[in-house]
Structure 1
Amino acid sequence: MSKRIYWLLPDVASARRTMNDMLLARIDERHMHFVGREDLNLSGLHMANVLQTSDVVRAAQLGALIGAVLGSVAGLAVAWYLPLAGEPPRWGLVVVLAMVGLVFGAWASSLIGVSIPSQRLRRFERAIRQGQILLMLDVPPGRVEAIESRLQALHPEARLEGVEPNIPAFP
């Protein structure tokens, strides 16, 4: 598990300097995620992808849960009412339909979730609209204080916006 540190940077130049400083601090580029307005030239920065900027993962998890429950209910109904006279219920259908529901639910809801902005980033929307750059750093728990101290010392123009305690490996 990692911890995610949120920093707001005033402009693109500051974001580029911060990225270089984090590379010198041995933070791998894939652990840095920058978010800014679409009209800003953020070339050279490691941009956050759809997994970090949308609710696709949460939507897929919720859809999988709902799909599995509905698939199980459908499987119970089919297994109970479908067998011909004298045959025992086919309980394997419950498992099959639950799995189909799980996959379909995850797929369908992830299509919706990809277009919904991340709830974690809602508090930064106004700052991003104003032209600031959000930096999300994923670091091991033991390095959080050292990275925060380094950023505060080297970038007084940046603003620490908090630490998220547990970031799973995906995303």
Structure 2
Amino acid sequence: MRRRLYFLLPSVARARQVVDELLLARIDDRHIHVLAKDGLSLGDLPRASLLQRSDFIHGIEIGLGVGGATGVLAGLIAVAFPPGGIALGGWTILACALAGAIIGAWVSGMIGTDVPNSQLKEFQHAVEQGQILMMIDVPKDRIETVTNMIKRHHPEADMHGIEPTIPAFP
């Protein structure tokens, strides 16, 4: 199980140093994500992906719930008032719920790609001012080691907490 650590760094050079130290500490670069303001060149630093920068995952979660509930409601209405006198069974409710959840997740996910990640709102001002946000996914048992290493070598690194869970796939 991994946890996500958030650090704000003052410059790209400092971020590069931290990434090099994390790589030496055997943190794979696919678990390091860097976010900076638009137009700032990050060079070869591991950039945050669309899934980490946007509200795509949150959008899918909301769409599944709302779409599924809407589908159940539509299915119940179809069973209660069958069109053309056709006898509809419980499978109609299930099919409508599934269709609603799929369509809701798809539409909300597409909308979510255009919305900044709501979990990163507290960092938005700092990033716009030129600071670098570094997100590091570390195993639960290495949180303290990694945090202490960064604070010891880079006292200017501003730690902003630990996310209790991270999505499995981004």
Q: What band does the TM-score fall into relative to the shorter chain?
A: over 0.9
1:140 correspondence with 2:139: yes
Measured in 1, the distance between the counterparts of 2:164 and 2:65 equals: 25
Question: Which residue pairs with 1:110 in the alignment?
Answer: 109
Give, as a single letter, the amino acid of the residue that structure 2 aligns with 1:27: I
Question: Which residue pairs with 1:167 in the alignment?
Answer: 166
Contact 1:62 1:106 in 2 (8 A): yes
Measured in 2, the distance between the counterparts of 1:18 and 1:38 equals: 21
| Root mean square deviation, CA, Å | 1.5
Question: Which residue pairs with 1:14 in the alignment?
Answer: 14
TM-score (norm 2): 0.94
Give, as a single letter, the amino acid of the residue that structure 1 aligns with 2:128: R
Offset of 1:22 from its aligned partner?
0.4
Measured in 2, the distance between the counterparts of 1:99 and 1:43 equals: 44
TM-score (norm 1): 0.93
Identity %: 41
Offset of 1:160 from its aligned partner?
1.3
Aligned to 1:123, the other structure's residue is in SS state: helix
Aligned to 2:70, the other structure's residue is in SS state: helix
Measured in 2, the distance between the counterparts of 1:11 and 1:84 equals: 67
- Name stretches of at least 5 consecutive residues in structure 2 with no aligned partner: none
Regions of 4+ moved over 4 Å: none
Aligned to 2:165, the other structure's residue is in SS state: strand
- Name stretches of at least 5 consecutive residues in structure 1 with no aligned partner: none
Offset of 1:56 from its aligned partner?
1.1
Measured in 1, the distance between the counterparts of 2:141 and 2:91 equals: 48
Contact 1:2 1:167 in 2 (8 A): yes
Q: Across the two proteins, how many residue pairs are aligned to each other?
A: 170
